[in-house]
Chains A and B, each alone.
Chain A
Amino acid sequence: MKILIKNGRVVDPANNLDEVCDILIESGKISKVGKNIKASAEKTIDATGKIVLPGLVDMHVHLREPGREDKETISSGTKAALKGGVTSVLVMPNTNPAMDSAENIKLLQQIIKDSAKADVFICGAITKGRLGQELSDIKALKKQGVVAISDDGASVDSDKLMEEALKLARDENILLISHAEDKTLSNKGVVNLGLTSTRLGLKGISKESEYKRVARDVELAEKLKAPIHIAHVSCKESVEIIAKAKKRGAKVTCETAPHYFSLTEEAVLSYDTNMKMNPPLRSKSDLGVRKTKKISSLSARNSGLSAWKLNSLWQSRS
């Protein structure tokens, strides 16, 4: 079937394209991109005033299934993703059961097959149950089809275990995504340590709890010449550590989410629990995590920790 998309603002960074033009699709592939395409198509979409993008990839998404279907499911989450223009997601393994074995991955793959509305890639768990005690069988996870591993929601506290995991990921050629948080420092905090925690009378999460762990993760990865990807960077100190490591040639990449460069801790001041997250919203000086162009260390942007936020954030186009 031929589909013609007319007059949209076509944005295609891979081909340095950002202009109003037409796209012709034939048999499921894009056959022509140009101005004023004359072709007879079974379906014509008038995209005047609209933006036409390649399907977006969100590489940090929580779909909560299996285990917390009351919060979200593969189906509801991918539906929401499509609404925001995201056609591929990388789903985090902090499910119940965690994605720490080939059997569990298989279970998830079946659910995806049955109910996913977008492409779902799987991130496996680094340690069994994400408890940080014993490594998962990472080779088996790779064989079953994961594209990355992470304990997201937790960090691997043991240096030894983290080193082994980095080595395995490096050798198996899958990406290790690190949720950098030293829980002894974040100490059950709920908002940023500082203005917000003091004014609201709540336990604060210090920036140290993030950037000190970032420093450790980056150091280990550098030492082993293994690639590492730091998840949801929230403060400028973390960005600086990563930038410096990159300059030295380490294979460090990282990601942040739109809320970390558009909102600050002031957003929680009314006790709005929609603004409560981990890592927490930080201060005005940390909004600079947005500066991708300058230091090109923010390699990916994604919707953040939970898919429920995805739709509204992309609508607001921060």
Chain B
Amino acid sequence: MSELIWERKDLLGLEDLSREEIEFILSTAESFKEVSSREIKKVPALRGKTVVNLFYEPSTRTRVSFEVAAKRLSADVINIATETSSVKKGETLIDTGRNIEALKADIIVMRHNYSGAAAMLARHVNLSVVNAGDGWHEHPTQALLDIFTLKEKLGKIEGIKVSVIGDIAHSRVARSNIWGLTKLGAKVTVCAPKILIPPGIEDMGAQVTDDVDEALHNADAVNVLRMQFERDESNAFPQQLEYFKNYGITEERLEKAKKNIVVMHPGPINRGIEMSSEVADGANSVILEQVTNGIAVRMSVLFLVAQANEFIKKNEDTN
């Protein structure tokens, strides 16, 4: 076990995390994975703590995943979907955060459509903030569970080749994955039509190609992103079927790739657009395992930020 002490009360992204910190979250997650395999899937680690899911964007899988993780830690969970809340009346983010803090909640898990929202909230409240996705910026727990899954499947991250395929420009999953994977020593390639590759992505450590066969060639794993037709306004996208023809992952495409290539997707899948159904349900796909690992990783994250915040509060009391 490493000598690392986890000191962060928030998890806002992977960009600022050290390699050791990422590895620490993942090794802690291994212990939590075991909890989900018990008959009584509960430990009292966060008993009496309140976790608030504050989701400004609709989400089922991430929200439910965080809820299950928090409940397995014995925490109380409140879900706020802002469409039906006072946010509709114009309440600011900071006010919302402070109100939640006044309820003596301990952790806010937030998804927001503005990049940087989680960072801003964390600056203005003393409770812990876990970023469940902010705009196009980061989705750290998704990348962590992706890496956790890869580690399980391939035994290591150092030196492996991972390709991320999809709308890189607008993808927080892509950014978090690039940070996490490169910090752990993997070689990352991003692949998308040129207009969906943001400038300067090479400076983040990724290689770039717009040829999906090139991206698949020799890759140990491929992370297929969701094509977000509902998000971009500017119609810069090719037709859905055209995307499938040029970038969709099919069994034929995989034939030219490594036999045991690991196929991942953050979900939900657009069958027939990012990948064919055969691939989604096929032997190389670990999509459902990602979901299971998501619980363990999120339990680990919630546990660690809660402990760090406890320690910070204790030190403030004695000072």
Residues of A within 8 A of B (CB): 193-195, 197-202, 204, 270-271
Number of B interface residues at 8 Å Cβ cutoff, please give it: 18
Are B175 and A194 within 8 A (Cβ)? Answer: no
Binary contact track B122-151/A, C-beta < 8 Å → 1, others 0 = 000000000000111110000000000000
B119 located at the interface, meaning its Cβ lies under 8 Å from any Cβ of chain A in the complex: yes
Q: Which listed residue, A198, A201, A202, A270, touches B200 by the CB 8 Å rule?
A: A198
Given known contacts A201-B135, A201-B136, A202-B135, A194 and B115 CB-to-CB distance under 8 angstroms: no
Contact B200 A199 (CB under 8 A): yes
Contacts A198-B200, A199-B204, A200-B137 given; 19 further ones with Cβ under 8 A?
A193-B199, A194-B200, A195-B199, A195-B200, A195-B203, A197-B200, A198-B203, A198-B204, A199-B15, A201-B138, A201-B175, A202-B115, A202-B116, A202-B136, A204-B198, A271-B115, A271-B116, A271-B119, A271-B120
Q: In whole angstroms, how far apart are the Cα atoms of A127 and B227 in the complex? A: 43
Known: A270-B119, A271-B119. A201 touches B201 (CB 8 A): no
**Any A CB within 8 A of the CB of B172:** yes
B201 in complex: contacting residue of A198, A202, A204, A270, CB < 8 Å: A198
Tell me the bound Cα distance from A198 to B199 in angstroms.
6
A284 to B136, CA, bound (A): 24
Min CB distance A271 to B, Å, is 4
**Residue on A nearest B115 in the bound complex, by CB:** A201
Given known A-B contacts A200-B137, A201-B137, A201-B175, A194 and B119 have beta carbons under 8 A apart: no
Name, among A194, A195, A201, A271, the residue most crowded by chain B CB atoms within 10 Å (CB to CB).
Answer: A201
Chain B residues with CB under 8 Å of A195's CB are 199-200, 203
Whole-angstrom CA separation of A193 from B169 in the bound complex: 12
Residues of A within 8 A of B175 (CB): 199, 201
Query: A52 CB to closest chain B CB, in angstroms?
Result: 41
Complex alpha-carbon distance, A140 and B289, angstroms:
73
Query: Chain A contacts of B200 at CB under 8 A?
Result: 194-195, 197-199
Measured CA separation A195–B205 after assembly (Å):
12
In the complex, residue of chain A having the shortest beta-carbon distance to the beta carbon of B137: A201
Which residues of B line the A interface, CB within 8 A?
A: 15, 115-116, 119-120, 134-138, 172, 175, 198-201, 203-204
Shortest beta-carbon distance, A156 to chain B, in Å?
A: 25
Of all chain A residues, which has the CB nearest B234?
A: A187
Contact A204 B199 (CB under 8 A): yes
CA distance A193 to B204 in the complex (A): 15
Decide if A200 touches B116 in the complex (CB within 8 Å). yes
A144 to B192: give the CA distance in the assembly, Å: 57
> What are 18 of the A-B contact pairs (CB < 8 Å)?
A193-B199, A194-B199, A194-B200, A195-B200, A195-B203, A197-B198, A198-B200, A198-B204, A200-B116, A200-B137, A201-B115, A201-B172, A201-B175, A202-B116, A202-B135, A202-B136, A202-B137, A271-B116
Task: Return chain B residues, CB-CB under 8 Å to A200.
Answer: 115-116, 137
Chain A, residue nearest B170 (CB): A201
In the complex, which residues of chain B have a beta carbon less than 8 angstroms from the beta carbon of A198?
198-201, 203-204
Q: In the complex the two chains form, what is the Cα distance from A199 to B203 in whole Å?
A: 9
CA distance in complex: A200, B136 (Å): 8
A193 to B134, CA, bound (A): 19
Cβ of A286 to closest chain B Cβ, rounded Å? 15
Q: Which residues of A contact B116 (CB under 8 A)?
A: 200, 202, 271
Which of B116, B119, B134, B136 has most A Cβ within 10 Å? B116
A200 to B199, CA, bound (A): 12
Chain B residues lying within 8 Å of A202, measured Cβ to Cβ, are: 115-116, 135-137
Residues of A within 8 A of B201 (CB): 198
Q: How far is the CA of A271 from the CA of B121 in the complex (A)?
A: 12
Contact residues in B for A199 (Cβ distance below 8 Å): 15, 175, 200, 204
Chain B residues whose CB sits within 8 angstroms of the CB of A204 once the complex forms: 198-199
Contacts of A193 in B (CB 8 A): 199
| CA A199 to CA B200, docked complex, whole Å | 8
Provide the residues of chain A in CB contact with B138, threshold 8 Å: 201
A6 to chain B, nearest CB (A): 47
| A163-B146 Cα distance, complex, nearest whole Å | 57
| Interfacial chain B residues near A197, Cβ < 8 Å | 198-200
Question: A206 — nearest CB in chain B belongs to which residue?
Answer: B199
Q: Write the nearest CB–CB distance from B116 to chain A, whole angstroms.
A: 4
Complex alpha-carbon distance, A271 and B172, angstroms: 16
Q: B203 contacts A201, CB within 8 Å?
A: no
**A201-B199 contact given A270-B119, A271-B116, A271-B119, CB 8 Å threshold:** no
List the A residue with the shortest CB-CB distance to B114: A202
